[in-house]
């Protein structure tokens, strides 16, 4: 190695955006930094860093549990679960990988849903389902009449 290549390496590393994250993936040069994003003063002390990771894990776990509880209830369950995963992804590589995979799959599904053939098929299936429901409702009213289940007149 000579001084010129050392200078070039420093110049290349100084061109990265703050935090080292870029649009590229897989931790290659120019890719996002994987692992802990804790402040440097926390990363310097092993005990402080471990307690930081435990805290991040507990907060992320609480958010994910709330999201799981919200799944059957009215509320943004999946959004809350992904928020918990994003909290975990600030500290753990496995969560960063899961979140990146999930984002990729959601993007692919959105692109497939916008395909004109898929949209046409979905519209046709929706119209058929609405027609069947309307026909069943008309048949029910025809056979039993429109009677309310409660007695308002009394």
Residue 50 has pLDDT above 70, yes or no: yes
Query: Do the Cβ atoms of 71 and 62 come closer than 8 Å?
Result: no
- Helix-strand-coil split of the chain, %, nearest 5: 70, 0, 30
Q: Quick: pLDDT tens for 99-144.
A: 899 889 989 988 888 888 888 998 999 999 999 999 999 999 888 8
Q: Quick: pLDDT tens for 54-94.
A: 998 999 999 999 999 998 888 888 899 999 999 998 888 88
Higher local confidence (pLDDT), 5 or 38: 38
Give me the DSSP letters along 25-93: -TT-TTSPPPS----HHHHHSHHHHHHHHHHHHHHHHHHHHHHHHHTTSSS-HHHHHHHHHHHHHTT-H
Residue 10 has pLDDT above 80, yes or no: no
CA 133, CA 6: separation in Å to the nearest integer?
72
Q: Which residues contact 102 (CB under 8 A, 6 or more apart)?
A: 82, 85
pLDDT of residue 128: 97
CA 136, CA 101: separation in Å to the nearest integer?
43
CA 127, CA 134: separation in Å to the nearest integer?
10
Residue 34 has pLDDT above 80, yes or no: no
Which tokens is 26 given?
A: 């897989």
Q: CA-CA-CA-CA torsion for 101, 102, 103, 107, nearest 10 degrees?
A: 100
* Global confidence as pTM: 0.52
Which range is most confident: 29-33, 42-46, 112-116, 120-124? Answer: 120-124
Would you place residue 37 in the very low, low, confident or very high pLDDT band (cuts 50, 70, 90)? confident
Residue 149 has pLDDT above 80, yes or no: no
């Amino acid at each position: 190695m000579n001084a010129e290549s050392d200078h070039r390496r420093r110049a290349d590393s100084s061109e990265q955006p703050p935090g080292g994250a870029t649009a590229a993936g897989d931790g290659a040069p120019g890719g996002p930094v994987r692992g802990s994003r804790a402040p440097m003063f926390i990363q310097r002390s092993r005990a402080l860093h471990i307690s930081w990771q435990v805290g991040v894990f507990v907060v992320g776990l609480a958010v994910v549990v709330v999201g799981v509880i919200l799944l059957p209830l009215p509320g943004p369950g999946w959004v809350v679960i992904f928020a918990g995963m994003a909290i975990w992804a600030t500290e753990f590589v496995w969560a960063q990988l899961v979140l990146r995979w999930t984002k990729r799959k959601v993007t692919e599904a959105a692109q497939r849903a916008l395909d004109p053939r898929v949209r046409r098929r979905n519209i046709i299936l929706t119209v058929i389902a609405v027609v069947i429901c309307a026909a069943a409702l008309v048949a029910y009213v025809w056979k039993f009449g429109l009677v309310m289940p409660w007695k308002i007149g009394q």
